[in-house]
């Protein structure tokens, strides 16, 4: 009885966990989690000031801290740790007890049997299985870090698009207002007989085009805000101020960073750890060819009270199965992971080379567009002066003003595309993001 009570005392107990009954979306940006833990244990944390305009890097950090899907990563890590615990446990020994009552014959007492045995084959593969499970835990950790990086990148891209989208909307609104004002003046001049109706037709077409462009920009801006709110765990109507994106130049040591990719990009590290785990799985499968062996001791007392004790050995004869199926599966999995790692590495290097080329091309285009926008603005100013002196008609002045605004809109679009490529290049190179996971383990804690 004491042994049974001790065994029961070490058993796990059941506790129900209730599901949430309502959404936990945040309405104000000030209610977000905003404390970024230190990169290492013992190092100070950092608060993100939510009262000011947020730059795109801060918004990326806020997405890591608040994205509802990232908060669920506790389950993936807990499952990996549970697998490690299972692989680290030795198999329990088996106990056999037997009793046979004496019903007749020359015997004088009941017979008893007792045996104790242990699976030796599982001990042979123990070390390989434990090493495989430890590598899988590290693999899951690296995969979750890569997910955090992807969430941060998406949030940074959305924030950049929102900033430049707002600028494009403002310029288009100015363009529409200028055209509408010109239409009003042309209509007045037409009513007075100073201008004919043909002067109004191209202006009305320009107004319709500007209205259509503005409607598309506003709809895109709304969808982008909603996507960013989802990443931050906020209601779709939440809004906050975004600072002008500040992106540095291309890194000078791109070739060195490419060479170091396998050692610091989380997705490549995860694949390497998965391959290491697969190597141990292959080793465990090969060791599993060792015949299933159970060693034990037994004690018996027959009906004539003759007692005996001795060792017991039970093993499989490796004639047919010989664990060949598991060996083949483990080797195939290892080969698959090997090819996946090579493909991911090739894709990363190709993406980096492509983004570097695109960034250089866009930088050159941006310089050209900047000069064109400055020239158009200068011409618009000259045209305004000429109009004031009566040397230029209203329609021509409107064309100059619209051209200057469109040049600025093109400049905004180029800056947005260049920013998107810079952010994509940063994550491909593994730059500017945390080296350890920062998503909170407890999503119910206060910010």
Q: What are the DSSP calls for 37-91, one per residue?
A: PPSSTTSPPEE--TTSPBPHHHHHHHHHHH-HHHHTHHHHHHHHHHHHHHHHSPP
Coil vs helix vs strand at 192: coil
Q: Regarding predicted confidence, which is higher, 320 or 404? A: 404
Task: Reply yes or no on whether the pLDDT at 53 is more than 90.
Answer: yes
Question: For 98-107, 253-262, 337-346, which range has the lowest pLDDT when averaged over its residues?
Answer: 98-107
- CA distance linking residue 406 with residue 169, whole number of Å: 12
Residues 219 and 139 sit within 8 Å (Cβ to Cβ): no
Quick one: residue 208, left, alpha or beta (phi over 0 = left, psi -120 to 50 = alpha)?
alpha
Alpha-carbon separation of residue 220 from 171, 208, 214, 229, 267 (angstroms): 15, 18, 10, 14, 31
Give the chain's mean pLDDT.
Answer: 84
Average pLDDT over residues 11-29: 79
Alpha-carbon separation of residue 216 from 219, 239, 281, 316, 407 (angstroms): 5, 20, 54, 72, 19
Predicted local confidence at residue 199, as pLDDT: 65
Residues 96 and 117 sit within 8 Å (Cβ to Cβ): yes
Task: Reply yes or no on whether the pLDDT at 25 is more than 50.
Answer: yes
- CA distance linking residue 254 with residue 429, whole number of Å: 8
Average pLDDT over residues 147-163: 93
**pLDDT tens for residues 432-441?**
777 787 777 5
Predicted local confidence at residue 446, as pLDDT: 40
- What's the pLDDT band for 447 if we cut at 50, 70, 90? very low
Predicted local confidence at residue 227, as pLDDT: 94
Q: Which of 252, 296, 281, 19 is nearest to 136 (CA)?
A: 281
Average pLDDT over residues 296-318: 81
**pLDDT tens for residues 157-216?**
999 999 999 999 999 998 888 888 887 877 777 776 655 556 677 778 888 888 999 999
Instruction: Give the HSE-up count for residue 95: Cα atoms under 13 Å, Cβ half-sphere.
Output: 2
Average pLDDT over residues 282-299: 80
Residue 24 phi, psi dihedral angles, 5° rounding: -115, 35
307 membership: H or E segment, kind and range: strand 307-315
Residue 353 phi, psi dihedral angles, 5° rounding: -60, -40
Class (C level, CATH) for 24-38+45-429: mainly alpha
Question: For 127-141, 264-278, 384-398, which range has the lowest pLDDT when averaged over its residues?
Answer: 384-398
Question: For 83-92, 99-108, 262-271, 366-375, which range has the lowest pLDDT when averaged over its residues?
Answer: 99-108
**pLDDT tens for residues 234-271?**
999 999 999 999 877 788 888 888 998 888 888 888 88
Q: Three-state SS across 256-274?
A: HHHHCHHHHCHHHHHHHHH
């Amino acid at each position: 009885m004491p042994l049974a009570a001790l065994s029961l005392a070490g058993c796990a107990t059941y506790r129900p966990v209730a599901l949430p009954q309502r959404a936990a979306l945040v309405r104000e940006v000030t209610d977000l989690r905003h404390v970024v833990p230190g990169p290492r244990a013992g190092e100070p944390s950092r608060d993100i000031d939510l009262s000011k305009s947020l730059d795109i890097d801060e918004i990326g950090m806020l997405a890591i801290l608040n994205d509802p899907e990232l908060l669920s990563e506790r389950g993936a890590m807990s499952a990996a740790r549970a697998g490690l615990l299972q692989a680290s446990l030795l198999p329990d020994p088996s106990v056999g007890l037997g009793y046979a009552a004496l019903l007749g014959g020359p015997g004088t007492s009941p017979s008893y049997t007792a045996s104790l045995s242990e699976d030796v084959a599982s001990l042979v593969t123990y070390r390989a299985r434990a090493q495989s499970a430890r590598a899988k835990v590290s693999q899951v950790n690296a995969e979750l870090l890569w997910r955090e990086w992807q969430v941060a990148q998406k949030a940074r891209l959305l924030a950049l698009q929102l900033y430049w989208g707002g600028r494009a909307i403002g310029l288009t609104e100015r363009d529409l207002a200028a055209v509408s004002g010109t239409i009003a003046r042309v209509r007045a001049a037409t009513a007075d007989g100073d201008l004919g109706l043909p002067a109004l037709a191209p202006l009305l077409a320009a107004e319709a085009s500007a209205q259509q462009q503005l409607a598309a920009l506003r709809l895109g801006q709304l969808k982008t805000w909603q996507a960013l709110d989802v990443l931050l765990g906020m209601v779709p109507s939440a809004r906050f101020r975004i600072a002008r994106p500040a992106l540095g130049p291309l890194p000078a040591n791109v070739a060195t960073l490419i060479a170091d990719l396998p050692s610091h990009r989380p997705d490549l590290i995860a694949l390497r750890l998965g391959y290491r785990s697969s190597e141990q799985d292959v080793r465990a499968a090969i060791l599993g060819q060792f015949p299933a062996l159970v060693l034990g001791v037994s004690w018996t007392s027959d009906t004539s009270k003759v007692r005996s004790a001795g060792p017991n050995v039970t093993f499989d004869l490796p004639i047919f199965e010989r664990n060949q199926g598991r060996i083949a599966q483990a080797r195939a999995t290892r080969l698959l992971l090997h090819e996946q790692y090579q493909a991911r590495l090739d894709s990363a290097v190709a993406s980096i080379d492509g983004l570097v080329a695109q960034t250089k091309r866009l930088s050159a285009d941006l310089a050209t567009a900047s000069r064109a926008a400055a020239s158009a603005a200068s011409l618009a100013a000259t045209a305004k002066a000429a109009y004031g002196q009566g040397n230029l008609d209203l329609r021509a002045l409107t064309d100059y003003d619209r051209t200057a605004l469109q040049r600025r809109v093109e400049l905004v679009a180029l800056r947005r595309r260049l920013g998107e490529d810079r952010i994509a290049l940063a994550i491909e190179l593994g730059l500017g993001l945390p080296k350890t996971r920062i998503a909170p383990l407890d999503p119910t804690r206060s910010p």
